[in-house]
Chain A
Amino acid sequence: MTVGNDQGRTRPGPLNRRAFFSVGGTLAAAGILAACGSNTGRDGGTTSAAAGSTEATAGTTAGTSAASSAASSPASGAGSAASSASSASGPAGAKPTLNQWYHEYGEEGTKAAVEKYAAAYPNATVKVGWFPGDYDSKIAAALLTSDAPDVFEAGNGPSIDAIQGGQVLPLDGLLGDAKDDFTQSLIERMTYDGKLYAIPQVIDMQLLVYRKSMLADKNIQPPTTFDELAAAAKALTDGDLKGLFVGNDGGVGTLVGPTLWSVGADYLTKDNKVGFTDPAVATAFGKLHELFTSGSLLLGAPTDWSAPDAIVNELCAMQWTGLWTFPTLQKELGDDFGVLPWPKFSSSGAGAPSVPIGAYGSCVAAKSQYPDAAKAFVKWLWVDQTSFQIDFATSYGFHVPARASLAAKADKLKSGEAAEAVKILQENGHAQTPLFWTPASGTAMSDAVTKIIKDGADPTKTLAGVVGKVNAELKRVVK
């Protein structure tokens, strides 16, 4: 077209500041346009590590449970703002309002159930918060603020740092006469310095599930050692059907404990020292690398090990999963499934078969405005209301009540593979990880195990690298 007004720009010389900024202006405008939709939560900020990450957590664990019905936002909201400060010291007649938080249970009906329990409590108004996604981070962040819930559940009780940091209150004496009725390994796991910090709600266990018909077709006996398991996995693999599924990460997230126990080792020893220096541990982890590269392991399934879909949809013949999938397994497979613990490593060594067991424990936050009312509610729900406890354990997903007397009463656990699973739990159950096994130790271990399993790194050397990190953590928390 025309010439006139482009003098400054026509020369392709070095960029001057004005040109840079004018393009920058265009970029900024386009950026605003893009921001309308992209919703990444981090336009413009260069240092906002926190800002960028919070939003992403919301949508993460979609693979957690296929059964999860509604991811609706929690009813209670975050704040205990409704209960104003004045009512904290208010008249004795007014009912306090307690906020109680749960992570999202995938099984249908669980949310309605916990709301029903909360509504039935006579001495306080209890609002239930229900959180899909990264619940642990959500709780950890909330405990830093005055918006902390009064009562919340924590996987295997509060972390050692939360206890030592004074974020949670001890719950001594709440168990009363029922103390001996609770599963002792879980009570120990949630006790620090002689004080109990959480009341176990229900026991969850992981275990190996296999298709009886598929093993029978190939004339394979249920494996009792690791080598038998690996051989079975190989024999069962047939084209797109894989022999074994232990998680999309090849077992990093699930098999550390079972592998340690399979050779008689552990995360930590009884006196809180590193428990995995035995050379047999390195050998066992090395075998997991062989399994990973054998071609008989299912990897990259659309849903991960915690959901029953892979074995139900015949992507694999054996799957490491949890007791909570039993309702689906029974519905989809009928009698065509059996249960096993993770086998011991070899028939001669010191190891034993094992299953990890864990429990969500009910805790009381130190920042609660009504600590006594919160403790009273926890005692009411998780100690006194035995009918609610049985209902919560067995009516939705499949869990084992945390108390022996109730486990004996739960009819659904008395027959078939469920009864077999309970037997395995009693004989081979290990608390998932010890109290002093901190998240930093866990990260160091899973990094190392990933390198061993996936990259074929030298197990002895790689595990030796973990020891230093774990020792540093032990030095910090064991007082």
Chain B
Amino acid sequence: MASQAAVGAPRAGLGRKLLGPQNRNLWFWVFVGPFLLGLLIFVYIPILWSIYLSFFDARNTVTPTTFVGFDNYKFMLTDPAFLSSLGTFAVFAVFIVPVTYAFGLALALAVNRTHWFQAFYRSAFFLPTACSYVVASLIWRMTIFNGVRSGLANTVLGWFGFDNVAWLSVTHPPWYWLVLVTLRLWLQVGFYMILFLAGLQRIPPILYEAAAIDGAKAGWQTFRYITFPQLRATSVAVLVLLLINAFQAFDEFYNTLSNFGSYPPYARPPLVYLYYIALGSQQDLGRGSAGAIILAVLIGLVTVLQARFLTGRRRSA
């Protein structure tokens, strides 16, 4: 490329040189430029800005003047509420990651086996993915899991003679996890089912034929020794995605559990806590930014470790 440009150089001026052969440079920027600009303005500059803010006492301002060094980080790392929000995330991840994984895989296996209406089932299960988290949260909170008899869950309990349960209000037992996990499961399981379906369809049929000839029984044995190992790449990607999504949980928590500007200390994931510090009533952008940076580093770290752990050492390849 460079040499081609050099050949053209004597004839044309700097302009032609910049355009590149066949205007390739021009077209590169025409196609990439807008996205890069958007990325720069809406992602990179805000990230850099929040790193900057995290070293200042930035209350009610985005152009702070009081430099405080690592004080904000020290505060966040010793703030019991922030630490407990990380604990909340851990609990949520422990529920939602394996459950979504298992349900997504099971659905994919079922849909993959059926030959009747496969496209219909695929669409039907995928459809909730297109629903907004906010809308779904309101449905879960107000119609399915409200605490009175008119709620769907309590109506069903009523058939069996049970009393009403205030799903989102009580902490003993912590029924709110049932609400949060079912909500997210319903919203995202179809998406991961599609990923698994794609993975299943990448498995060459010859493997199953060979296994059958070798005497492997259809069902569990084939799944255990052929299907599951072949889905490894998909599984790793699904697990990484699930974990990142769990880290970023905000919408359904905020919309099911918040009350009038306050949010209970339980089931308060990191983003919700940071939202109240930085963007809600407290407007403490310095500490909020420090928390966001800590969270970003944690997500990066966990993702890298998880990918490394799950993909194993790269022996072949």
Contacts and interface: CB of A to CB of B under 8 A. Distances in A.
Given A14-B315, A15-B232, A161-B60, A300 B81 contact: no
A90 interface: no
A108 interface: no
Interface in B244-294: 244, 247-248, 250-251, 254-255, 258-262, 264-266, 271, 274-276, 278-284, 288, 291-293
Contacts of B262: 249, 252-253, 442-443, 446
B305 interface: no
B60 A15 contact: no
Contacts of B47: 47-48
B309 to A, nearest CB: 12
A18 B204 CA distance: 18
A37 B128 CA distance: 9
Chain B at the A interface: SS class: helix
Interface in A183-203: none
A10 B191 contact: no
Contacts of A63: 141-142
Nearest to A19: B233
A333 to B, nearest CB: 19
B281 A159 contact: yes
Interface string B282-317: 111000100111011001100000010011111111
Nearest to B250: A52
B54 to A, nearest CB: 11
B43 A299 contact: no
Contacts of B247: 46
A401 interface: no
Contact of A47 (B81, B258, B296): B296
Given A23-B234, A38-B130, A16 B281 contact: no
A306 B276 contact: no
Given A51-B42, A300-B167, A253 B259 contact: yes
B148 A14 contact: no
Interface string B160-199: 0000111111111000000000000001000100110011
A327 to B, nearest CB: 21
Interface in A123-167: 134, 136-137, 140-141, 143-144, 159, 161-162, 165, 167
A50 B62 contact: no
22 contacts: A9-B204, A10-B206, A10-B207, A20-B311, A30-B191, A45-B43, A48-B46, A64-B260, A167-B60, A240-B148, A240-B149, A252-B262, A300-B148, A300-B164, A300-B166, A302-B150, A439-B283, A443-B262, A443-B282, A454-B169, A454-B170, A454-B171
For the complex of A and B, the 4 pairs showing the least CB-CB separation, nearest first, are A300-B147, A37-B130, A16-B317, A299-B166
Given A23-B234, A136-B280, 17 more contacts: A15-B310, A20-B236, A23-B237, A45-B43, A46-B248, A49-B291, A51-B42, A57-B254, A60-B134, A60-B255, A144-B62, A240-B148, A252-B259, A300-B148, A443-B81, A447-B265, A450-B265
Interface of B: 42-43, 46-47, 50, 59-62, 81, 129-135, 138, 141-143, 145-151, 164-172, 187, 191, 194-195, 198-199, 202, 204-207, 229-230, 232-234, 236-237, 241, 244, 247-248, 250-251, 254-255, 258-262, 264-266, 271, 274-276, 278-284, 288, 291-293, 295-296, 299-300, 307, 310-317
